[in-house]
Amino acid sequence: MTNLNDPWNDDEVTRTLNDLPPVDPPSTLVNDVMSTIASRGAARATHPSVIPTKRGEIMAKKVLWIVAATAALALIAMRLVGYPPVEKGTEATIGAAQRYQSPQISSADVKTEDAQLQTFLQSDLFRQLTTDKTARQALKNKDFQKALQEPAVRAALASSDVRSAIGSVKPGVAGDAAALAKYDLSIRAALDANAALKAAFDASPALRAALVSQDVIAAMNSAALAAVLSQADVSNRLSNDAAIRAVLSAPDVAAGAAGGAATDVVAR
Amino acid sequence: MDDTGDTALIARCLGGQQDAYEAIVTRYQRGLFTVALRMLGNYEDARDATQNAFVKAYEHLNTFDPEQRFFSWLFRILKNECLNVLRARRPSQPVSLDLPSDRAADPVEVRERQRAIQTALMSLSTEYREVVVLRHYTDLSYDDIAAALGIPATKVKSRLYTARQQLGELLMDWRVAR
């Protein structure tokens, strides 16, 4: 005997569910479906982009809602992600003013030469150099400029013997190997006092060529250059590219203003 | 249900012969309407849902995959229609069990029992109710139900077991109340 408080077993539930008979659909269902299909087909033919639904809604309205929802989600996502980034200082502006802003001048931009060079550029010796064509011509010689950067060469040229030995080379023999060899002997003799320069002179054909070039031979007879070369501390200035540029630029200005032009060159 | 015949009818529909679809509706109206009625518990709602499902199926017939059973595909469309109806109902609104009047000839006790079963069915959650309805009021196999619901067959069985347990408890309350 079944107790009213006993839960139903699975078989009993199954039998009960199967007790529910199949239900006949409404007799008009087929006709209703086919007439709806026919009317929708006609509506689609006349209004292909708008399909009316049962509840009177239109598809265009659904699309509008979808687009609006998508746009709202995109805005929220952009807000959360922080895209596009807002640059500092441009908040609340429609567009940042694109002004040119030159950087502040820094100490690295101000190139100051040492005081000795400035003194040299304002000295009488410098003025004499700028007004001595033979000295300027010699200083234009790249090989001579390079030679002057060697302390040993400057030390050798400080010797009047060396200068006179080089200066005694007759113009026109620089390209004559045999004649040059003869003068080499006198130069080498003059260089005996300077072993380092002598060794360099022997080892470097370029140095020999520089010292016996037409320009340098002529410059060795220049009183202005001789005066500069004879003073070790002053000749040291000629190892400075700025000083040489100053000398070479001097012809561009009047002799009296040479010092001022040289200062401009250094400032460049 | 004759799947081979379905394929031929569907091909004719896609070829523009609308009368072929009438044959399909005639073939499936009873099964689909029964499912709708058991899912919704209301005759008018079931009629609207079935009608809408058939119309939408016709409009999307070109997306039907002949590899699957046509009834399974129809059921998925019907299920969405039923969910729309259930969502439209207010939660506090009692379900009006408007069952077919042509069964009025049944004895009172039988009708009372049928109403209790339908009431118990409506007390189940949708996912439990659908497995019970598909298992007991269609001829779908477990695999077909799984395909129609998009879940594994094992899950169909476990849901069915739980649903029957809940129905047993619900019907016990009805028996005690009699």
Tens digits of residue pLDDT in A71-126:
999 888 888 887 777 666 666 656 566 666 666 655 555 555 567 667 777 778 77
Nearest CA distance, A78 vs chain B (angstrom):
33
- Pick from B51, B110, B117: CB nearest A32: B51
Mean pLDDT of all residues in B49-69: 91
Instruction: State the alpha helices, DSSP H only, in chain B.
Output: 3-14, 18-40, 43-59, 70-88, 108-123, 126-137, 142-149, 153-177
Q: Which pLDDT belongs to residue A256? A: 43
Nearest CA distance, B68 vs chain A (angstrom):
23
- Chain-chain contact of B136 with A25 (C-beta, under 8 angstroms): no
CB B131 within 8 A of CB B145: yes
Q: Which pLDDT belongs to residue A177? A: 65
A9 contacts in B (CB within 8 Å)?
168
Say how many C-beta atoms besides its own lie within 10 A of residue A164's C-beta: 14
- Residue A52 pairs with which residues in a beta bridge? A58
For the cut 50, the answer to whether the pLDDT of residue A63 exceeds it is yes
A256: tokens are: 């009296």
State the Cα angle at B131 between B129 and B135, rounded to 5°.
120
Determine the distance from the C-alpha atom of residue A192 to the mean position of all C-alpha atoms in its chain, rounded to a whole number: 51
Upstream peptide bond of A22 is cis (omega within 30 degrees of 0): no
Q: Taking Cα atoms as reference points, which of A18, A31, A24, A33 lies closest to residue B100?
A: A24
Instruction: Say if the ipTM goes beyond 0.95.
Output: no
Chain B contact for A24, CB < 8 A? Answer: yes
Q: How far is CA B162 from CA A13, A194, B131, B155, in A?
A: 12, 114, 10, 11
Q: Tell whether pTM > 0.80.
A: no
